Protein backbone atom coordinates (compact mmCIF):
# COMPACT_ATOMS: atom_id res chain seq x y z
CA UNK A 1 0.00 0.00 0.00
CA UNK A 2 1.43 3.38 -1.00
CA UNK A 3 2.02 5.65 1.97
CA UNK A 4 -0.51 8.48 2.12
CA UNK A 5 1.37 11.78 2.57
CA UNK A 6 -1.48 13.22 4.70
CA UNK A 7 -1.88 10.18 6.99
CA UNK A 8 -0.43 10.03 10.53
CA UNK A 9 -0.84 6.68 12.28
CA UNK A 10 -0.34 6.72 16.06
CA UNK A 11 2.71 4.61 17.04
CA UNK A 12 0.59 2.15 19.08
CA UNK A 13 -1.79 1.64 16.14
CA UNK A 14 1.07 1.40 13.62
CA UNK A 15 2.79 -1.26 15.74
CA UNK A 16 -0.45 -3.26 16.00
CA UNK A 17 -1.05 -3.09 12.24
CA UNK A 18 2.54 -4.10 11.49
CA UNK A 19 2.25 -7.06 13.86
CA UNK A 20 -1.15 -8.01 12.36
CA UNK A 21 -2.89 -7.49 15.68
CA UNK A 22 -6.60 -6.50 15.81
CA UNK A 23 -7.44 -2.79 15.55
CA UNK A 24 -10.84 -1.08 15.86
CA UNK A 25 -11.47 2.33 14.29
CA UNK A 26 -13.58 4.86 16.22
CA UNK A 27 -15.12 8.08 14.91
CA UNK A 28 -14.79 11.59 16.30
CA UNK A 29 -18.07 13.29 15.30
CA UNK A 30 -19.62 11.50 18.26
CA UNK A 31 -17.09 13.38 20.45
CA UNK A 32 -17.52 16.85 18.96
CA UNK A 33 -21.15 16.75 17.81
CA UNK A 34 -22.80 13.71 19.39
CA UNK A 35 -22.62 14.48 23.10
CA UNK A 36 -22.11 17.48 25.41
CA UNK A 37 -18.81 18.16 27.19
CA UNK A 38 -17.51 16.55 29.41
CA UNK A 39 -19.59 13.42 28.74
CA UNK A 40 -18.14 13.25 25.24
CA UNK A 41 -14.50 13.09 26.36
CA UNK A 42 -15.23 10.64 29.18
CA UNK A 43 -17.17 8.39 26.81
CA UNK A 44 -14.46 8.50 24.11
CA UNK A 45 -11.80 7.42 26.63
CA UNK A 46 -14.12 4.76 28.06
CA UNK A 47 -14.81 3.37 24.56
CA UNK A 48 -11.07 3.13 23.88
CA UNK A 49 -10.61 1.30 27.20
CA UNK A 50 -13.44 -1.09 26.31
CA UNK A 51 -11.78 -1.96 22.99
CA UNK A 52 -8.47 -2.64 24.78
CA UNK A 53 -10.20 -4.74 27.46
CA UNK A 54 -11.54 -7.02 24.74
CA UNK A 55 -8.25 -7.66 22.99
CA UNK A 56 -7.94 -4.99 20.30
CA UNK A 57 -6.18 -1.66 19.85
CA UNK A 58 -8.43 1.43 19.52
CA UNK A 59 -7.80 3.96 16.74
CA UNK A 60 -9.92 7.08 17.18
CA UNK A 61 -9.88 8.98 13.89
CA UNK A 62 -10.04 12.73 13.21
CA UNK A 63 -8.35 15.47 11.19
CA UNK A 64 -5.99 17.55 13.34
CA UNK A 65 -4.38 20.64 11.83
CA UNK A 66 -4.73 19.26 8.34
CA UNK A 67 -3.44 15.76 9.14
CA UNK A 68 -5.51 12.57 8.88
CA UNK A 69 -5.00 11.08 12.34
CA UNK A 70 -5.47 7.37 12.97
CA UNK A 71 -5.26 7.16 16.75
CA UNK A 72 -5.53 10.25 18.95
CA UNK A 73 -3.80 11.28 22.14
CA UNK A 74 -5.92 12.06 25.22
CA UNK A 75 -5.08 15.75 24.68
CA UNK A 76 -6.41 15.61 21.10
CA UNK A 77 -9.62 13.94 22.30
CA UNK A 78 -9.97 16.66 24.95
CA UNK A 79 -9.48 19.34 22.27
CA UNK A 80 -12.28 17.87 20.13
CA UNK A 81 -14.57 17.50 23.14
CA UNK A 82 -14.07 21.06 24.34
CA UNK A 83 -14.44 22.42 20.80
CA UNK A 84 -17.81 20.72 20.43
CA UNK A 85 -19.90 22.00 17.55
CA UNK A 86 -17.32 24.65 16.73
CA UNK A 87 -15.21 21.79 15.36
CA UNK A 88 -15.96 21.21 11.66
CA UNK A 89 -18.00 18.09 10.91
CA UNK A 90 -16.10 16.36 8.10
CA UNK A 91 -17.56 13.88 5.62
CA UNK A 92 -15.86 12.58 2.45
CA UNK A 93 -16.82 15.73 0.52
CA UNK A 94 -15.08 18.00 3.04
CA UNK A 95 -11.82 16.15 3.60
CA UNK A 96 -9.64 17.76 0.92
CA UNK A 97 -10.69 21.27 1.95
CA UNK A 98 -10.10 20.77 5.68
CA UNK A 99 -6.72 19.14 4.99
CA UNK A 100 -5.67 21.84 2.50
CA UNK A 101 -6.59 24.58 4.98
CA UNK A 102 -4.72 22.89 7.83
CA UNK A 103 -7.89 22.79 9.91
CA UNK A 104 -9.15 20.41 12.58
CA UNK A 105 -12.29 18.38 11.94
CA UNK A 106 -14.36 15.60 13.49
CA UNK A 107 -14.93 12.68 11.13
CA UNK A 108 -18.34 11.20 10.38
CA UNK A 109 -19.01 7.51 9.73
CA UNK A 110 -18.23 8.03 6.03
CA UNK A 111 -14.91 9.82 6.47
CA UNK A 112 -13.86 7.58 9.37
CA UNK A 113 -14.45 4.52 7.18
CA UNK A 114 -12.42 6.06 4.39
CA UNK A 115 -9.45 6.97 6.62
CA UNK A 116 -9.62 3.58 8.39
CA UNK A 117 -9.41 1.84 5.01
CA UNK A 118 -6.40 3.99 4.06
CA UNK A 119 -4.65 2.67 7.17
CA UNK A 120 -5.71 -0.94 6.56
CA UNK A 121 -8.28 -1.17 9.38
CA UNK A 122 -11.30 -3.36 8.62
CA UNK A 123 -13.53 -2.97 11.71
CA UNK A 124 -15.14 0.24 12.97
CA UNK A 125 -17.40 0.82 15.99
CA UNK A 126 -19.85 3.71 16.17
CA UNK A 127 -23.21 4.55 17.72
CA UNK A 128 -25.60 4.49 14.77
CA UNK A 129 -25.12 5.03 11.06
CA UNK A 130 -26.67 7.81 9.01
CA UNK A 131 -29.25 7.06 6.38
CA UNK A 132 -32.15 8.37 4.35
CA UNK A 133 -33.78 11.27 6.18
CA UNK A 134 -37.52 11.43 6.70
CA UNK A 135 -39.02 13.48 3.88
CA UNK A 136 -36.15 12.57 1.53
CA UNK A 137 -38.60 12.17 -1.36
CA UNK A 138 -38.69 15.98 -1.37
CA UNK A 139 -35.32 16.93 0.16
CA UNK A 140 -33.11 14.16 -1.31
CA UNK A 141 -31.29 14.25 2.06
CA UNK A 142 -29.36 10.96 2.14
CA UNK A 143 -26.31 10.45 4.34
CA UNK A 144 -22.93 9.98 2.66
CA UNK A 145 -22.46 7.09 5.13
CA UNK A 146 -24.55 4.87 2.85
CA UNK A 147 -22.52 5.47 -0.29
CA UNK A 148 -19.31 4.93 1.67
CA UNK A 149 -20.65 1.59 2.87
CA UNK A 150 -21.24 0.68 -0.78
CA UNK A 151 -17.61 1.24 -1.77
CA UNK A 152 -15.26 1.04 1.24
CA UNK A 153 -14.27 -2.35 2.73
CA UNK A 154 -14.94 -1.75 6.43
CA UNK A 155 -17.42 -3.53 8.71
CA UNK A 156 -19.36 -0.96 10.73
CA UNK A 157 -20.62 -2.16 14.12
CA UNK A 158 -23.55 0.00 15.21
CA UNK A 159 -26.82 -0.07 17.12
CA UNK A 160 -28.63 0.09 13.79
CA UNK A 161 -29.69 3.16 11.84
CA UNK A 162 -30.28 6.33 13.85
CA UNK A 163 -33.98 6.25 14.75
CA UNK A 164 -34.48 9.89 13.68
CA UNK A 165 -34.19 8.63 10.06
CA UNK A 166 -36.42 6.72 7.63
CA UNK A 167 -35.35 3.16 8.40
CA UNK A 168 -37.30 1.49 5.61
CA UNK A 169 -35.89 3.71 2.88
CA UNK A 170 -32.38 3.36 4.33
CA UNK A 171 -32.64 -0.43 4.12
CA UNK A 172 -33.85 -0.17 0.51
CA UNK A 173 -30.90 2.08 -0.37
CA UNK A 174 -28.42 -0.32 1.23
CA UNK A 175 -29.97 -3.27 -0.62
CA UNK A 176 -29.73 -1.42 -3.94
CA UNK A 177 -26.02 -0.80 -3.34
CA UNK A 178 -25.30 -4.38 -2.25
CA UNK A 179 -24.54 -3.60 1.40
CA UNK A 180 -25.49 -6.50 3.71
CA UNK A 181 -27.16 -5.68 7.03
CA UNK A 182 -26.28 -8.28 9.67
CA UNK A 183 -28.09 -8.70 12.97
CA UNK A 184 -25.88 -9.81 15.85
CA UNK A 185 -27.89 -12.44 17.73
CA UNK A 186 -31.12 -10.93 16.35
CA UNK A 187 -33.40 -11.21 13.33
CA UNK A 188 -34.71 -7.69 13.91
CA UNK A 189 -33.08 -4.41 12.98
CA UNK A 190 -32.39 -2.42 16.15
CA UNK A 191 -33.20 1.28 16.06
CA UNK A 192 -30.46 2.93 18.11
CA UNK A 193 -32.25 3.60 21.44
CA UNK A 194 -34.58 0.61 21.05
CA UNK A 195 -33.86 -3.06 20.38
CA UNK A 196 -36.44 -3.45 17.61
CA UNK A 197 -37.63 -1.27 14.75
CA UNK A 198 -40.24 -3.44 13.07
CA UNK A 199 -37.80 -4.22 10.23
CA UNK A 200 -35.79 -7.39 9.61
CA UNK A 201 -32.06 -7.72 8.95
CA UNK A 202 -30.64 -9.53 5.90
CA UNK A 203 -28.71 -12.13 7.90
CA UNK A 204 -28.54 -13.13 11.55
CA UNK A 205 -25.10 -14.19 12.81
CA UNK A 206 -24.58 -15.18 16.43
CA UNK A 207 -20.81 -15.03 16.98
CA UNK A 208 -18.00 -12.60 16.18
CA UNK A 209 -16.24 -15.40 14.28
CA UNK A 210 -19.26 -15.95 12.02
CA UNK A 211 -19.26 -12.24 11.18
CA UNK A 212 -15.50 -12.31 10.58
CA UNK A 213 -16.01 -15.27 8.24
CA UNK A 214 -18.56 -13.34 6.17
CA UNK A 215 -16.20 -10.34 6.02
CA UNK A 216 -13.33 -12.54 4.87
CA UNK A 217 -15.45 -14.22 2.18
CA UNK A 218 -16.84 -10.92 0.89
CA UNK A 219 -13.46 -9.27 0.46
CA UNK A 220 -11.59 -12.40 -0.67
CA UNK A 221 -14.08 -12.61 -3.56
CA UNK A 222 -13.19 -9.05 -4.50
CA UNK A 223 -16.63 -7.68 -3.63
CA UNK A 224 -16.55 -3.96 -2.99
CA UNK A 225 -17.99 -2.23 -0.01
CA UNK A 226 -18.53 -2.74 3.66
CA UNK A 227 -21.03 -4.38 5.95
CA UNK A 228 -23.46 -3.11 8.58
CA UNK A 229 -23.32 -5.15 11.79
CA UNK A 230 -26.33 -4.11 13.85
CA UNK A 231 -25.94 -4.80 17.55
CA UNK A 232 -29.00 -4.14 19.75
CA UNK A 233 -28.59 -1.81 22.72
CA UNK A 234 -28.40 -3.85 25.97
CA UNK A 235 -31.90 -4.48 27.28
CA UNK A 236 -31.23 -2.70 30.58
CA UNK A 237 -30.54 0.56 28.72
CA UNK A 238 -33.12 0.32 25.95
CA UNK A 239 -35.82 3.02 25.93
CA UNK A 240 -39.55 2.49 25.35
CA UNK A 241 -40.25 2.84 21.65
CA UNK A 242 -43.29 5.09 22.22
CA UNK A 243 -41.20 7.51 24.33
CA UNK A 244 -38.48 7.79 21.70
CA UNK A 245 -40.94 8.05 18.79
CA UNK A 246 -42.77 10.94 20.50
CA UNK A 247 -39.50 12.76 21.27
CA UNK A 248 -38.28 12.30 17.69
CA UNK A 249 -41.54 13.61 16.25
CA UNK A 250 -41.34 16.73 18.44
CA UNK A 251 -37.67 17.29 17.49
CA UNK A 252 -38.47 16.88 13.78
CA UNK A 253 -41.24 19.47 13.99
CA UNK A 254 -38.87 21.90 15.72
CA UNK A 255 -36.16 21.29 13.10
CA UNK A 256 -38.62 22.07 10.29
CA UNK A 257 -39.85 25.19 12.07
CA UNK A 258 -36.27 26.44 12.59
CA UNK A 259 -35.11 25.56 9.08
CA UNK A 260 -32.46 23.10 10.31
CA UNK A 261 -31.27 20.98 7.37
CA UNK A 262 -28.30 19.19 5.83
CA UNK A 263 -25.42 18.05 8.01
CA UNK A 264 -26.75 20.08 10.97
CA UNK A 265 -29.90 17.92 11.12
CA UNK A 266 -28.51 14.91 12.96
CA UNK A 267 -26.69 16.76 15.79
CA UNK A 268 -29.71 19.06 16.28
CA UNK A 269 -32.16 16.15 16.45
CA UNK A 270 -30.00 14.02 18.77
CA UNK A 271 -29.50 16.96 21.14
CA UNK A 272 -33.22 17.80 21.19
CA UNK A 273 -34.23 14.16 21.75
CA UNK A 274 -31.81 14.07 24.70
CA UNK A 275 -33.36 17.25 26.13
CA UNK A 276 -36.93 16.09 25.59
CA UNK A 277 -36.24 12.74 27.29
CA UNK A 278 -34.57 14.41 30.27
CA UNK A 279 -31.15 13.08 29.36
CA UNK A 280 -32.25 9.44 29.32
CA UNK A 281 -31.36 9.11 25.65
CA UNK A 282 -27.81 10.36 26.34
CA UNK A 283 -27.32 7.63 28.95
CA UNK A 284 -28.63 5.07 26.45
CA UNK A 285 -26.37 6.49 23.72
CA UNK A 286 -23.27 6.01 25.90
CA UNK A 287 -24.18 2.43 26.75
CA UNK A 288 -24.88 1.40 23.17
CA UNK A 289 -21.53 2.80 22.01
CA UNK A 290 -19.71 0.83 24.70
CA UNK A 291 -21.64 -2.28 23.70
CA UNK A 292 -20.64 -1.78 20.06
CA UNK A 293 -16.98 -1.31 21.04
CA UNK A 294 -17.02 -4.68 22.82
CA UNK A 295 -18.49 -6.48 19.82
CA UNK A 296 -16.21 -4.71 17.35
CA UNK A 297 -13.15 -5.77 19.34
CA UNK A 298 -14.38 -9.38 19.28
CA UNK A 299 -14.93 -9.24 15.52
CA UNK A 300 -11.50 -7.63 14.95
CA UNK A 301 -9.84 -10.39 16.99
CA UNK A 302 -11.69 -13.13 15.08
CA UNK A 303 -11.01 -11.51 11.68
CA UNK A 304 -7.30 -11.13 12.40
CA UNK A 305 -7.07 -14.78 13.42
CA UNK A 306 -8.54 -15.74 10.05
CA UNK A 307 -6.34 -13.55 7.84
CA UNK A 308 -3.05 -13.43 9.78
Residues 6+ apart with CB under 8 A from 20: 304, 307, 308
Bridge partner list, 156: 124, 228
299: nearest Cα among 201, 158, 177: 158
Q: Rounded distance, CA 67 to CA 70, Å?
A: 9
Residues 226 and 178 sit within 8 Å (Cβ to Cβ): no
Q: Rounded distance, CA 167 to CA 128, Å?
A: 12
Determine whether 263 is an active site residue: no
End-to-end CA distance of the chain: 17
Whole-angstrom CA distances from 44 to 34, 39, 179, 286 are 11, 8, 28, 9
Please identify which of the residues 50, 76, 89, 162 carries the catalytic annotation: 162
Phi, psi for 90 (deg, rounded to 5): -115, 115
Determine whether 196 is an active site residue: no
40: nearest Cα among 196, 269, 267, 198: 267
Q: Which residues are catalytic?
A: 27, 162
Amino acid sequence: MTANPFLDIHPEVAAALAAKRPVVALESTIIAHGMPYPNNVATALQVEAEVRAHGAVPATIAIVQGRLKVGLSPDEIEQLGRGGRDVVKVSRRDMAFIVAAGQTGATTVASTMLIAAMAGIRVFATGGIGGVHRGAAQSFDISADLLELAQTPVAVVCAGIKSILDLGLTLEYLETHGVPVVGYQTNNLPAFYTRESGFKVDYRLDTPDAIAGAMQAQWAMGLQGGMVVSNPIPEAYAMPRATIDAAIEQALQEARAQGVAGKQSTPFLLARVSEITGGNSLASNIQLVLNNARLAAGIAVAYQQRVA
